Structure 1
Amino acid sequence: MKTKLACRALHEKDEQRMTRAKFFVIALVCSFGWYIVPGYLFTTLTSISWICWAFPRSVTAQQIGSGMRGLGLGAFTLDWTAVASFLFSPLISPFFAIANVFIGYVLLIYIVLPLSYWGFDAYNATRFPIFSSHLFTSVGQTYNIPAIVNDKFELDLAKYEQQGRINLSTFFAMTYGLGFATIASTLTHVALFYGREITERFRVSYKGKEDVHTRLMKRYKDIPSWWFYSMLGATLLISLALCIFLNDQVQMPWWGLVFASAMAFVFTLPISIITATTNQTPGLNIITEYAMGIIYPGRPIANVCFKVYGYMSMAQAVSFLNDFKLGHYMKIPPRSMFLVQFIGTILAGTINITVAWWQLNTITNICQEELLPPNSPWTCPGDRVFFDASVIWGLVGPKRIFGSQGNYAAMNWFFLGGAIGPVIVWLCHKAFPKRSWIPLVNLPVLLGATAMMPPATAVNYNSWILVGTIFNLFVFRYRKSWWQRYNYVLSAAMDAGVAFMAVLLYFSVGMEDKSLDWWGTQGEHCDLARCPTARGVIVKGCPVV
């Protein structure tokens, strides 16, 4: 649906006064000019958490109101990057998907999490911050990860036993449980709702009639199969060489590469279907980490490599298919699409590695939040989650976190709940076929609504849901012709304007470390949101209850 509308938006003739090109330029200039305000002059606009301003000395109020470190009640943003950075643009997501995300988000953040934290104190929740991806000791102190790692980057069991079990914030534990449910529900949901259609389309692809798009694309030379096979073979050989000849650095055995590739192959189809229908992509990160952690515990780098080959390769495959589908509708020659994807991947990978290497060797204490100055932009929330995940699943291992030797074994029941959930929805659909809203209940999206949290925060979700609802319910309903003509153009212009200004700000003031220091650039002013509420827990900068 969204691909066809995007195609129409680019192909329709401009019969109104303002062409799409002109609208794009105007929207881009506005986005470009505005981003200097939340991006540099008034950064507090990224998370307007007014409850924290009203209650500057209350830990509980700031936990409830903080958009970055709490539940984000009433928090919103005037920064497009906060709206579209994690869940992508809400302007191009169908409303039923936004509704599923909204329900899943509300259930976790405003029902389950408050009950677990203040109601039942589940897993000693009040000893830790309400919203955190950090790892803690049983007394609420930050876990000393380097102390339990030996010279080979493996777990030192004696030191681990001395420091005690790793504890997670209740929020972090719940997000992992929902991750278990999401991957299980994805398989069940696709099998029940799309199993027959997959089979029929597979048969039609061999002997069915070609649609108009396929007939028009016949004028171009198709991509030879050996291009794909050659690339697959080359990448597998290089990866196997890394596993064999650099095993001390990579840690992952050769069979790990084969296993990761097999997982990516199996899950690509069902996850592609969820992506195509909802614009939301369930991830394989948790299940790949879990599987390798069970089979090969105590080796964090091997776990990270396994996740990259299993999860990232699947995600890139889905993105590749998405681009080719758009190219198919836009009548772009397949070979040109392939070459652009290939060259772009090489360039992007090279540039990313170069920039990351430069940053690690240039920026002091990068990604070490406790050593950085307040409101530093180099806290790396996404990388922090990646690092903590390598500790949980790779270094310590799921058996000592979610197994018999850990505190969170009950989270494994989420696998069963996720697998059963779509069955219930499917049976309800069969029992009440006239209720058209029932098949719109998409549990992979609903259960995986908060999959990006952390590093995404409440203010990201609040704003994404609000903007997506406004455009889908009001603009689409009452200004449908405008929506079809300009919606995708507006989304692209907003992204482009922000990107250009971000680059300009970095090279003009970021590299010279020129920053403003006033109330509007000192964060969201919710410093107490990171504090625990249990009695007697001592955390630097927090009041002792």
Structure 2
Amino acid sequence: MEPQQVELSHLDGRDARPGTNGGRTDSAEEEVDDCPIEEVRLTVPITDNPALPALTFRTWFLGLISCALLAFSNQFFGYRQNPLYISSLSVQIVVLPLGKLMAACLPTKAVRIRGTKWSFSLNPGPFNLKEHVLITIFANTGSNSVYAVGIITIVKAFYHREIHPLAAMLLTQTTQLMGYGWAGLFRKFLVDSPYMWWPANLVQVSLFRALHEKEKRPKGGTTRLQFFLTVLITSFAYYIVPNYLFPTISTISLVCLVWKNSVTAQQIGSGVYGLGVGSFGLDWATVAGFLGTPLSTPAFAIVNIMAGFFLIVYVIVPVAYWTDAYGAKRFPIISSHVFMANGSRYDVNRVLDPATFQFSQAGYDGAGQINLSIFFAFTYGLSFATLAATLSHVALYHGGSIWEQTKATVRAQAGDVHTRLMKRNYAAVPQWWFQVMLVLVLGLSVFTCEGFGRQLQLPYWGVLLAAGLAFFFTLPIGIITATTNQQPGLNVVTELIIGYLYPGRPLANVAFKTYGYISMSQAIMFLQDFKLGHYMKIPPRSMFIVQVNDDDD
């Protein structure tokens, strides 16, 4: 007999089925009690089946393999000019038939672990939705390339030096795990709060429901699963064209095709090294390679981004460049490289003391000051403005709700229907789990930077300052991400802070940036996955175990 579904409105003595609003009550009060965000009400079900197994052998087997494959692929393809990113969506599709195959073939007899009373089943029943969600989260935690690998890359490729293998390993692990330590402190604000709805998660919720729920095909129409399969097959077939048969269509510039020998035309029309006027791409990997898919971003956020893009790229940068502000014409209009005063590439090795691997004032005096392209200079300046705007926006627009949520947390009040279901059916992750992890990772981080002959050049106070900076920005940037699907970064401001406080040490700068920026980014990714589990009613402790073990791998 199939386990009974739990619907919170029944448990609270209310009928969830009257009215026509998707099976929910018509009253405004009950609608808000469900979820105040319309997109969530239309997408996320308000039922749960707590008897479904989640952390099974199939979850571990498929999750670990998919995580390893995505981690390798995205790290490998991240070195391309237009990075190819394989998201957890691919795993979400592929593991469904694999999970069903394992459910059909594996034995159901329990396997006992020798010397213990523990046992588990290789096949606890049909492959279910909760296993599918956990496997996808497994894959998602490994889908992003490890930012700290960039430090190892620049040490070997640009500075031509060696780094201790254990120091490199500890650096990658600690930067990935540090943010989890304080992510638990913000769960009440960024997971339990119904107003933090994480738009990207709704795409996955819709797909999970399409893959697992039985739907009757409307007359003359298609089911969600049929529509999804049509788009999947079509897009897969089309991708052969830009990736193998005709890569040129990834970036097409009409201006460059007409005026092939004009430098000005290249500056105006190139989509890679210029302003991209009249340039377009027919490759989805190019469209979504940097900002992510626009399909999961709210319309108001897209309009905001486009307005800012037009103002900066098509107005301010061209005016500054062609009026030769600060000698901008000596350098490319768009470039992330650094240059000599005559426009040639800057030789960084000339300003580094080979013995101490620190800044050499004599070398810098001989080489001259570093120059940036006009676009890159504006990028740095606007990055500072973005962080200041993030703090002021969150304070003005969300300050009241943060305070109310804080008071509700103290009073232990429940949130919407999803929060109440989770509290009723599952044990929460104890706060001390996060606190222990934070202390351990902070200790390892200090050891990594202070040990190994101080190869990373960052002192202990730099690690603690980076952690404090990331902790301070996690909540405001988390709110921006949870409501707009856009995440401001701390990479520029961290470079400025450590460059001012501890100048002349290149590895200390990038290590501080990584601890400050990536620990915040990892905390937000942890919270986003927790929100997905919140929507899909995954036991929180299973979520925690999957995410932490996955990043350890």
TM-score calculated relative to the size of structure 1: 0.61
Question: 2:473 — aligned with what?
Answer: 267
Question: 2:380 — aligned with what?
Answer: 176
Which amino acid in 2 is paired with 1:90? Answer: P
Question: 1:215 — aligned with what?
Answer: 420
Matched, 1:145 2:353: no
**Which residue of 250, 257, 261 corresponds with 2:463?**
257
Distance in 1 separating the partners of 2:320 and 2:514? 33
Q: Quickly say closer, same or farther: Cα 1:9–1:81, change in 2 above 3 A.
A: closer
Which amino acid in 2 is paired with 1:108? Answer: I
**Which residue of 276, 279, 296 corresponds with 1:72?**
276
Pairing of 1:220-235 with structure 2 (within 5 A): 220-235=426-441
Residues 188-246 of structure 1, C-alpha deviations (whole Å, 9 max, x = no match): 11111111111011111232344211221121222122321222122111111112222
Question: 1:248 — aligned with what?
Answer: 454
**Which residue of 114, 126, 129 corresponds with 2:318?**
114
**8 Å CA contact 1:49, 1:76 repeated in 2:** yes
Q: CA deviation at 1:55?
A: 0.3
Q: Which runs of 5+ in 1 are unaligned?
A: 348-545
Distance in 2 separating the partners of 1:13 and 1:280? 33
Q: CA deviation at 1:8?
A: 5.3
Matched, 1:99 2:300: no
Q: Quickly say closer, same or farther: Cα 1:5–1:146, change in 2 above 3 A.
A: closer
**8 Å CA contact 1:128, 1:136 repeated in 2:** yes
Distance in 2 separating the partners of 1:240 and 1:134? 31
Q: Which runs of 5+ in 2 are unaligned?
A: 1-38, 40-198
Matched, 1:15 2:216: yes
Q: CA deviation at 1:270?
A: 0.4
Matched, 1:276 2:482: yes
Greater RCO, CA 8 A, separation 6+: 1
Q: Quickly say closer, same or farther: Cα 1:68–1:210, change in 2 above 3 A.
A: closer
**8 Å CA contact 1:182, 1:282 repeated in 2:** yes
Question: 1:367 — aligned with what?
Answer: none
Pairing of 1:385-400 with structure 2 (within 5 A): none
**8 Å CA contact 2:414, 2:420 repeated in 1:** no
Q: CA deviation at 1:4?
A: 5.1
Matched, 1:166 2:370: yes
The structure in which a higher percent of residues are helix is 1
**Which residue of 310, 321, 324 corresponds with 2:530?**
324
**8 Å CA contact 1:247, 1:253 repeated in 2:** no
Which amino acid in 1 is paired with 2:369? Answer: R
Q: Secondary structure at the match of 1:158?
A: helix
Q: CA deviation at 1:5?
A: 6.7
Number of aligned residue pairs: 346
Q: Secondary structure at the match of 2:542?
A: helix
Question: 1:527 — aligned with what?
Answer: none
Question: 2:501 — aligned with what?
Answer: 295
Residues 143-198 of structure 1, C-alpha deviations (whole Å, 9 max, x = no match): 11112211232111111101100111111101111111111111111111111111
Residues 244-303 of structure 1, C-alpha deviations (whole Å, 9 max, x = no match): 222431100000011011001110000011111111001111111110000000001011
Matched, 1:87 2:285: no
TM-score calculated relative to the size of structure 2: 0.60
Matched, 1:314 2:520: yes
**8 Å CA contact 1:220, 1:334 repeated in 2:** yes
Deviates more, 1:4-13 or 1:205-214: 4-13
Q: Quickly say closer, same or farther: Cα 1:162–1:223, change in 2 above 3 A.
A: same
Which amino acid in 2 is paired with 1:228? Answer: F
Question: 2:329 — aligned with what?
Answer: 126
Question: 1:406 — aligned with what?
Answer: none
Structure whose alpha-carbon radius of gyration is higher: 2
Distance in 2 separating the partners of 1:23 and 1:338? 34
Which amino acid in 1 is paired with 2:339? Answer: F
Which amino acid in 1 is paired with 2:504? Answer: G
Residues 341-365 of structure 1, C-alpha deviations (whole Å, 9 max, x = no match): 1222223xxxxxxxxxxxxxxxxxx
Q: What RMSD, in angstroms, separates the aligned Cα atoms of the two structures?
A: 1.7
**8 Å CA contact 2:203, 2:296 repeated in 1:** no
Q: CA deviation at 1:336?
A: 1.6
Deviates more, 1:321-330 or 1:29-38: 29-38
Residues 392-450 of structure 1, C-alpha deviations (whole Å, 9 max, x = no match): xxxxxxxxxxxxxxxxxxxxxxxxxxxxxxxxxxxxxxxxxxxxxxxxxxxxxxxxxxx
Q: CA deviation at 1:113?
A: 0.7
Which amino acid in 2 is paired with 1:280? Answer: Q
**8 Å CA contact 1:289, 1:303 repeated in 2:** yes
**8 Å CA contact 2:383, 2:492 repeated in 1:** yes
**8 Å CA contact 2:333, 2:375 repeated in 1:** yes
Q: Quickly say closer, same or farther: Cα 1:340–1:86, change in 2 above 3 A.
A: same
Q: Secondary structure at the match of 1:35?
A: helix
Question: 1:186 — aligned with what?
Answer: 390
Pairing of 1:397-476 with structure 2 (within 5 A): none
Q: Quickly say closer, same or farther: Cα 1:9–1:36, change in 2 above 3 A.
A: closer
Matched, 1:27 2:228: no
Distance in 2 separating the partners of 1:224 and 1:185? 34
Which amino acid in 2 is paired with 1:144? Answer: D
Q: Quickly say closer, same or farther: Cα 1:327–1:98, change in 2 above 3 A.
A: same
Q: CA deviation at 1:13?
A: 5.7
